[in-house]
Each structure stands twice: as C-alpha cells, then as structure tokens.
Amino acid sequence: MLTDHFRPQSFNGIDDIVIVGGGLAGLFCALKLAPRPVTILAAAPIGHGASSAWAQGGIAAAMNTGDTFEKHVADTVAAGAGIVDEKMTRMMVAEGPARIHDLLEYGVPFDRDLEGKLLLSREAAHSERRIVRVKGDMAGKAIMEALIAAVRSTPSIRVIEGYVVEELVREGRFISGVVARPDAGQSKTRVSFPARAVVLCSGGLGHLYAVTTNPWEACGQGVGMAARAGAIIADPEFVQFHPTAINIGKDPAPLATEALRGDGAILVNSKGHRFMLDIHADGELAPRDVVSRGVFAEVKAGRGAFLDCTKAIGTHFPEMFPTVYASCMAAGIDPVTQPIPVAPAVHYHMGGVLTDGEGRTSIDGLWAAGEVTSTGVHGANRLASNSLLEAVVFAARIAENIKGTLPAPKLTEWGDNAGESDDPVTVEDSPPFKRLRGLMSECVGVVRTRESLLHAIREIAELERVNTRLRFSNIITTAKLIAVAALQRTESRGGHFRADCPTERPEWQRRTYLTLAQAERLAAEAIETEPA
C-alpha cells in the first residue's frame, strides 16, 4: 500500500535516505531527520507489525529525585552479566531524559502525578523508580500513536507500507539501496530503492522461535540481510526469554508484563508452591533469565507455572493493566480471581548488527537502530525498559550523524523493477519456516547443549540446502548466526544458558563478533567433525 505518490521526492531516481522499518526506531529517526527527505519502507502498515506498539512497561530514564545516571548505568551493567559496553550505556542513559522530552513534544501522554510531574514506576532489577509509562500498560501503543500522527503530518517523510525489504544492495564499500517486495511480501515483482543512506530499523527476531511475544514481522530478516551484505554481527547468541508470556496457545503469545511482579504478583506451580523462592533470593524479581529457567523447569516437569495476581493486584487489575486483563479475559481467565498460566517466550534479542555510538554499522552507507542492532548496552541480558530508550537515543544520534556525513551517491543503473528473482514466500505459513521455529525453540532455546546446537546447525544447513527463496535465506542466516555463536560460547551467561557448561567462565567475559563468512566456516567445521 502506498500512502503517498510513488517517489515524489526522489532525486534523479535516488531516494535520499531510506529507513527500513516503521517501529519506534524508524519513525523517531525519520522525525529527527526532518526536513531532510526520508522514505520509510515498512513490512506492515505503521503501528502494526512492530513490537514497539506492544510495549507494556514503558521507557527507562533516570529522572526521579534521588535517581542518578550512575545508578541507571550500574543497574544496566549488573543486568548485562559482565559484557555491557559501559561507554555506550553512559551515552544512552545520559541522553534518556532529553529523548523523553522529545517524545512529550511529539504528543506522547506519559502518566503524570497531581502536580504534573512525570509518574515513574519501578521494574525488576531497577534500583529506582524510573519507568515512564502511559495508563499502566499502554506505553507502546500511546507512543506509536503520537509518533504516527507526527510522521503523517511531516511533509518530508514518505511512508510506503506493505513493502518487505529483502536485500541490502552493496556496491564496493557502500550500501547503495535496498530491494523490496510489495503487497506484504506477496508480490511477484520486486522494487528497488537506490539511496544515499540506508537506516536499518527492522526490529527483532522472536518469530524465529515457536513461542514468542513478538509480531511475525520480527523474524530476524534485518540481521540476516545485513550479514549477507557483509556486516559484522555482535552477540547473536543472547536471546532474552520473557518468563511470563500468557500460556494459552496463541501465536504470538500475549504478555503478562513484568510490572505485575513488580507490584507483588507471585509465581506458583499447579501445587500452589512458590518455586522462585527456592531458586533466587529475589524470588519473582530475579533477573529475567533466572525466572525464565525457573518457569521453564516447572512447565517441562508437567507442574505448570502460574502468575498469581489475585492478592497483590486483585480488583485493581482491569484499570491498572487493561491490556493484560483483556488478553486473559479473552482466554476465559479472570486474573482478579484466577492465577494466569504462563510460559517463557522469546521476547528480545540482545545481539544484532554491530553499531558504533553514531549508529554506524561496519559497512559504509548503512546505519542501524533499535532491536536489530547490538550497540553493547544490553550485554548478555537486557534490563527491562532499556530497549525503547536505546531505540530513541541511537535513532536520534543517527539523524545527527547522517546530517553531517553522507556517502557519495552510487548511481549504478537501477531500474524501478528489480525483477522476479524468486517466488514470494508466505513466511508465516510455510512448512520450512514452521520447522525452523520448532527447531530453534527445541535446540537453541531457554536451555541449550552442545548436542542440541550441533543438531540445530545440521538441520539449518539442510533447510538452507533446499531453500530457493531470498527472504527465507535472510531468516535462516540469522538462525545460523545464533546457533553457531551459541555453540562457540562454552559457558552460561545472561540470556545464553548451556546445561553442559552451566557457569560463567572468565575467558568468555567478552562480546562475540561474527561475520557470515566466519559463521559458515564454523558451521561447516562443526558438521564435519561431528556428523549426525
């Protein structure tokens, strides 16, 4: 669907700046670049198909009396399990309050107290109240509504919806544009968009897994595309599971926000036993990976896991957490009186396309922001509500950086139609994609072993061997990067848990940097040394 005339602002057929993705990172970057002409290509209509619109908790920013940047940095570093990039984190935290003010100016109705001051709440692993929210659990929806309205009324921003980008085109050192497939990826023809700068904001990869809280558009296409163009990928093995997705067989699984546990909800099994107290001193407020493994063990043992909000929240549930309440009621569960069945679900990817402080990737002409990146601020485990913050801080930095430096345009003969190179793929329905999702959950999930990872790498190679579709190639590439990096990391840290190496090891207190060529070599070696 085109929401504007086709190419009204292109220069000699070249777009100035193309942003891939219309979530928080993409829209914020476009607004910050105004009045510079920008084209946003989004797989779904903006506001849909983006994790940003589903965020329930809010955005972390050290703005409360008594809170400091140092405390926010310290909490982020502690959550990240030893491999957080402190310099990048300091930068992100220090710019947080200014970006919150930007969002207020764009019209985001953050909750305020009676004196009109921002109302800040607390979430797990934050030492202070620093989460800016909207009506309890409506932050993502409200932020996106405000930004969409701002984008729609900014003449320099052209939004093209339903275009799935399949390829970043590289010419020598430069990314010189993208190739996209219209009609939500169902069209037989592809359209090319030559550009002076490309900003990748395509979100996360939860849908690579069978159980996830992410929309299907978040299936790792961005990481795969960038890796295939030669970009360095960092920390792909670190996948965060949310411990309390509502376990009612829905895909994607609705989320029971962390704030419920912050407000005193407890986790019990079917026998009513509060199992987290056996596992960690902080019980339900332990780090996400610890709670995820606790919930996973109960579900795997057949005892089930339930979030009991009846005492801590009770009758306040509908007005305090309207989104969660609606999801529960739709499934016939009344959280005011009944415990909510929960299971861990892939929620966030700490790894991604390596970027520097200005959002530059390792390839000239390609910037990236939001969940598709690995800036280093999340280390091995993201601190809750730091991801929306990361998206706005680095999207703004990219806008500044692009204003100053822009690679010379590459003017290769690009037609408007990039050909019918392959059949379109209905990603969500295709059997290979379902097989891949099951494989990732089973073998590269909450608990991994050398054996399970080798099995995954062999299966991924087989899927790759029979695949002929470009879009699926991007997705498989991302799966391969995660599995290979998880096999290499012979320790457990943050979102990466190896049952066969269950502790942290000092020699692994470092980030992973991987190109696709390296991952392919490592995968081939692994298969060769240990065939099935």
Query: Which residues of this chain interact with ligand FAD, rule CB under 6 A?
Result: 20-26, 41-44, 49-52, 54-59, 139-140, 164-165, 201-204, 213-214, 217-218, 221-222, 255, 347-348, 370-372, 385-388, 391
Q: Which is nearer to ligand FAD, 43 or 340 (CB)?
A: 43
Torsion of CA 355, 361, 365, 369, to 10 degrees: -40
Task: Tell me if residue 427 falls in helix, strand or coil.
Answer: helix
DSSP string, 236-288: TT-EEEEEEEE-SS-SSPPB--HHHHHTT-EEEETT---THHHH-TTGGGS-H
Query: What is the rounded distance in angstroms from the CA atom of residue 314 to the CA atom of residue 371?
Result: 34
- 261 counts as catalytic: no
Shorter beta-carbon distance to ligand FAD: residue 123 or 459 = 123
H-run or E-run covering 233: strand 233-234
User: What residue type is 5 in one-letter code?
Assistant: H
With respect to ligand FAD, which residue has the nearer C-beta, 100 or 391? 391
Angle at 53 between CA 48 and CA 58, to 5 degrees: 175
Q: Is the CB of 50 or the CB of 340 nearer to ligand FAD?
A: 50
Decide: 216 and 35 in contact? Cβ < 8 Å. no
Which residues share a beta bridge with 267?
Answer: 307
* 3-state per-residue secondary structure call for 307-344: EECCCCCHHHHHHHCHHHHHHHHHCCCCCCCCCEEEEE
| Minimum distance, C-beta of residue 146 to ligand FAD, in the bound complex (Å) | 14
Least separation in angstroms between residue 282's CB and ligand FAD is 20
How far is 444 from 438, CA to CA, in rounded Å? 10
Q: At what angle do helices 24-33 and 139-152 cross, to 10 degrees?
A: 30
Q: Minimal CA–CA distance to 139: which of 44, 70, 54, 246? A: 54
Give least dist CB 331 to ligand FAD, A: 16
Query: How many whole angstroms separate alpha carbon 69 and alpha carbon 95?
Result: 10
Task: Give the phi and the psi of residue 58 in degrees, each rounded to 5.
Answer: 150, -155
Q: How far is CA 396 from the centre of its chain?
A: 18
For the bound state, the minimum distance from the C-beta of residue 434 to ligand FAD, rounded and expressed in Å, comes to: 19
CA 513, distance to chain mean position in Å, is 18
Cβ-based nearer residue to ligand FAD, 58 or 379: 58
Q: Say which of 170, 181, 288, 471 is annotated catalytic.
A: 288
The distance of closest approach from Cβ of residue 288 to ligand FAD in the complex, given in angstroms and rounded to an integer, is: 12
CA–CA distance, 458 with 524 (Å, rounded to integer): 9
Distance in Å, CB of 133 to ligand FAD, minimum: 8
Q: Which is nearer to ligand FAD, 396 or 523 (CB)?
A: 396
Residue (57 or 351) nearer to ligand FAD, CB? 57
- Whose Cβ is closer to ligand FAD: residue 204's or residue 379's? 204
Measured from the CB atom, the residue of 372 and 457 that comes closer to ligand FAD is 372
Q: CA-based diameter of the chain, in Å?
A: 68
Dist CA 55 CA 399 (whole Å): 24
Least separation in angstroms between CB 384 and ligand FAD: 7
CB of 221 to ligand FAD, least distance (A): 4
Judging by beta carbons within 10 Å of its beta carbon (0-12, 13-18, 19+), is residue 355 exposed, middle or buried?
buried
- In the bound complex, what is the minimum distance in angstroms from residue 149's beta carbon to ligand FAD? 16
Residue 350 near residue 373, CB atoms below 8 Å: no
DSSP, collapsed to helix, strand or coil, labels residue 196 as strand
Q: Return the active site residues.
A: 288
